Amino acid sequence: MTERKSDDVRRTVLERLRSEGVEQAYQTALEICRSPNAPAPAKATAVTALFRAGGFFDRGADATDQKEPHEMDGNELRVAAERAMRQLQAHDQPDANEVQEDVGLFG
């Protein structure tokens, strides 16, 4: 098999794996979880695979999945406070494209 043909085969297989394979793996994991006859270790493995694929084990993957302040160490609290201050300062800055309304001397 030539290198060019090998690359084409690899690309085709990866495309099928990422479409058909992923769908089939997902369906199989669900079937294992739902099966009353599946052994407990198989169910546990399927649940773990589903949660991992869903990103539930990736703490940094989702911006809404941030630590609460009581879970942070001192350095994490400092970084979070600095980020909050930058956001507040950016929010308080008037938009350069925004037309400023003249509110008069006592506005």
User: Residues 23, 27, 33, CA angle at the centre, nearest 5°?
Assistant: 145
Question: What would the mean pLDDT of 49-56 be, rounded to a whole number?
Answer: 86
| Residues 63, 43 contacting (CB under 8 angstroms) | no
User: 17 pLDDT exceeds 60?
Assistant: yes
Q: Give dist(CA 60, CA 58) in Å, integer.
A: 6
pLDDT value at residue 25: 92
Q: Give dist(CA 51, CA 45) in Å, integer.
A: 10
Q: Which structure tokens are listed for 27?
A: 């369906």
Task: Report which listed range, 46-50, 82-86, 92-96, 98-102, is most confident.
Answer: 46-50
Fill in the amino acid letter for 81. A
Question: What would the mean pLDDT of 19-35 be, rounded to a whole number?
Answer: 92
Confidence of residue 14 (pLDDT cuts 50, 70, 90): very high
pLDDT value at residue 47: 92
Q: Domain coordinates of the chain in residue numbers?
A: 1-57, 60-93
pLDDT value at residue 98: 59
Q: Give dist(CA 58, CA 52) in Å, integer.
A: 8
Give me the count of residues in the chain: 107
- Poorest-pLDDT segment among 34-38, 65-69, 89-93, 101-105: 101-105
